[in-house]
Structure 1
């Protein structure tokens, strides 16, 4: 569907360009063939204004297409790297196991490393596949009541294990009042969203991982999850852009950190499909980032009646 819309937009602006050129030629011929009257001057001014507006619109479209193509090229390069690196690593371990006699401790270490590489490979493939699914349609089926606190605790444990982190690297604070936060949704998708947020917090903390997660109730009807890190933070005017598909924050420090540009796009669309919202805030570069995720509590009016926002078509 996205490809069809894109082709339609391109065809529209090509047609617009042809029409504008035709108008320019027609206007020039008319002025040459007729006397300079007030009516002709007014008509010429109107046509010229339309011409300028069309050129501006066409230029904006072309700039957007160029930026989109650049993001897609970056995405393809990132995905290629994310796929090739673990495959090359697994192949190297297998060749070593095949050619050299190793003691049992070394063999077990190799097996552990290959499993970690295969998990990384699987995570990349699943991320790309899920981005395609979410970009095509909304998922409304199989919604159940989910204990958000238990799901976040599970994701914290998975992230610690995946990145070989100590318990104090990612801390989940107790819920005030020791209440259970239940939301209505698809557990698999919400797990993907929370894992992506935690992975980002770890990945963008190159000087040391110190992540704090907190759950609370807002306005009696919303479950709020805040994930705060002490990493490289965000430059100004990037708080909303980071949720776009394929978008990577510009800058040398940012670009050194590998990624596909899909993680936060997935988070935003999953949260929107659950009638929630997600926002990012940062005091500035090297001052950390806080991601706030809000979902309607199960059984509230917001949960039952809130309209599901449409997904980004780009």
Structure 2
């Protein structure tokens, strides 16, 4: 992987250098043209237009090349991450199955092996579901079978599921601002898609908290026609320059030791956008935690 990255960086440098040289050559040619034909107005006008077209084409071509090289680099990183996320649990499951087949283990140890294999199976299933979901959301779908959804029960279920599968004590994943009793936080949408979005944000908060897991969840209605879900952690934080990039497909912030495929927040953004809302992230910087906010249009039913 480092060899590929180095090769692509060289390719980016080559593309930029070539583009700059071509632009410099075009500028030199145009200046020469002006000097030679400064008395001919129409010749100067045609030359100037031709020059601008050439420059614009060169700039666009250079931008396109650089973007394609970076996109391919992100795609390769994604493939490597997915391969790792699939291979690791499969290897673990195989190891425990071989142990159970070749050795006689007591009932307590056998139960422990089964629990580990079930956890690995869940991890494997989540990775496959993430990849499939990202593929389906990347395609534009015009048909939307949305209906009124109360998001509080879905959010509560998501919190319980994430706490259970990450073996978190109840106080580590808690309400920072609890929903107002008897208040209806209703949106028009798809329950399973919203559940996927909530799970991805909560899983991300746990993953990037590392050993400092302390996650607060808020469900509020800041205006009469809006619902907000906020998830705040005290983890590794996000540099200011990466706050918008983290929602791009395949993009992964540079955090050594943190596993992932780089599509979780892309899925969140796609789902929220389909529901007419928006998602954003805020952080004071590295080591100062992150708050992810989902904003959704609120509806009232009779």
**TM-score band, normalised by shorter chain:** 0.7 to 0.9
1:59-98 pair list within 5 angstroms? 59-98=62-101
2:250 to 238, 246, 254: 246
User: Which of 29, 38, 43 lines up with 2:40 in the alignment?
Assistant: 38
Q: Where does 1:146-157 land on structure 2 (aligned, <5 Å)?
A: 146-157=149-160
In structure 2, the CA distance between the partners of 1:210 and 1:139, relative to structure 1 (3 Å rule), is farther
- For residues 132-143 of structure 1, the aligned pairs below 5 Å read 132-138=135-141, 140-143=143-146
1:175 offset after TM fit, Å? Answer: 1.1
Gaps of 5+ in 2: 1-18
Query: Cα–Cα, structure 1 residues 139 and 266, in superposed 2: closer, same or farther, change >3 Å?
Result: farther
Measure how far apart 1:139 and its partner are. Answer: 6.4
> 1:15-50: CA deviations, max 9, x gaps?
xx9xx99xx8xx89xx7xx97752434432332222
Among 100, 112, 115, the residue aligned to 2:115: 112
Q: Determine which of 51, 57, 62 is the counterpart of 2:60.
A: 57
Distance 2:145 2:170 in 1: 33
| Matched position secondary structure for 2:235 | coil
| Structure 1: gaps (5+ residues) | 1-16, 301-314
- TM-score, length of structure 1 as denominator length: 0.81
3-state SS of paired residue (1:225) = strand
Contact 1:224 1:293 (8 Å CA) reproduced: yes
User: Aligned equivalents of 2:289 and 2:94: distance in 1?
Assistant: 37
What residue in structure 1 maps to residue 7 of structure 2?
none
Residues in 1 aligned to 2:69 and 2:192: alpha-carbon distance in whole angstroms: 35
Instruction: Report how far residue 143 of structure 1 moved.
Output: 2.3
Matched, 1:217 2:221: yes
- The aligned residue for residue 275 of structure 1 is 276
TM-score normalised according to structure 2 size: 0.84
Alpha carbons 1:248, 1:255 under 8 Å: kept: no
